Amino acid sequence: MKKYLSILSLAVLFCACEDWKVTDEKQDEPAWGKASLCIENPVHEGDSLCYHIEFNLDTLAGDGQLARSLADVLRDSVFYKQGLATVQETMTAYADSMEAEWKAEMAEMYDPESEWRETLQYSYTIEGSPVENDCDSILTYQTTIDCYLGGAHGSYVIFYYNFDRNSGKLLDIRDFVPADKEKEVLKAMETQLCKDWEAKDVNELREKTGILMLGDLYLSNNFMPKGDSLSFLFNQYDIAPYAAGLIGITIKKP
């Protein structure tokens, strides 16, 4: 399975991470646990090909607001399963439903003599962990989904979730970039993209790379604060075709 991954770090500064601090004291490092699950079964009885489902996620211990907020995000935005008590229960329910769907699909499509038999060797993995962001007051959590569900290629996507360590609040891009700065930011992002890809303008950028072929730039919530900057990441098909990979932009503070 081919993966196209070309991540460029990008940074936008309008609100330094220090602004989120309630006190000057560094926050205590939270206690982390692990929620894991792995399923690997034959695509058909007696077949050597197997499908694979695996989840490995760091979770926060305790019942503080930060731990609850992270658990809510994992349930609601990563596994799309509400109402379950723990992340472990949520990922188990998600895997069970995924496996049931795969079994039904493979039973319908399976043909041991088909030249396309190997396309049923599905895989779906999710990794999740905190990442260093040089901001004592903000916790950044990264999830990576790497999957192959048949067809010509797989998919690889990364998402960032940012939390105020003090309040546990899930932060939005509008917490960093006010509305009156949006146009300025988007223009700077466009300029930086052209510079990174050696294009004289947006039209040449589209022709050379396919970037912005599927949509215009926007202030995505898929971002990471890093020190006194922000890093945005656009996944496959957000603003460009699959072959363009993951797209980042670096913007200096004006």
pLDDT of residue 147: 97
pLDDT of residue 226: 83
Q: What is the mean pLDDT of residues 195-206?
A: 94
- pLDDT, tens digit, 9 for 90 and up, residues 77-125: 999 988 888 999 999 999 999 999 999 999 999 999 999 999 999 999 9
Give 7's pLDDT tier (boundaries 50, 70, 90). Answer: very low
pLDDT of residue 252: 61
Give 28's pLDDT tier (boundaries 50, 70, 90). Answer: low
Higher pLDDT, 4 or 170: 170
**Position 200: which residue type?**
K
Res 134 pLDDT > 90: no
Number of other CB atoms surrounding residue 124 within 10 Å: 22
Q: Which contacts qualify for 94-103: CB closer than 8 Å, 24 or more apart?
A: 94/55, 95/37, 95/39, 95/53, 95/55, 98/53, 98/124, 99/39, 99/41, 99/51, 99/53, 102/51
Res 9 pLDDT > 50: no
- pLDDT, tens digit, 9 for 90 and up, residues 229-253: 878 999 999 999 999 999 998 776 4
User: Of 6-10, 61-65, 68-72, 218-222, where does mean pLDDT reach its minimum?
Assistant: 6-10
Give 189's pLDDT tier (boundaries 50, 70, 90). Answer: confident
Q: What is the mean pLDDT of residues 155-176?
A: 95
CB neighbours of 198 closer than 8 A, spacing ≥ 6?
208
Q: What domains, with CATH codes, occur in the chain?
A: 1-16+178-218+228-254 (3.90.640.20), 23-172 (3.30.565.40)
User: Of 21-25, 100-104, 135-139, 191-195, where does mean pLDDT reach its minimum?
Assistant: 21-25
pLDDT of residue 237: 94
Is the CB of residue 91 less than 8 Å from the CB of residue 66?
no
Res 139 pLDDT > 70: yes
Q: What percent of the chain has pLDDT over 90?
A: 72
Q: What is the mean pLDDT of residues 166-185?
A: 93
Give 22's pLDDT tier (boundaries 50, 70, 90). Answer: very low
Res 23 pLDDT > 90: no
For the entire predicted model, the pTM comes to 0.85
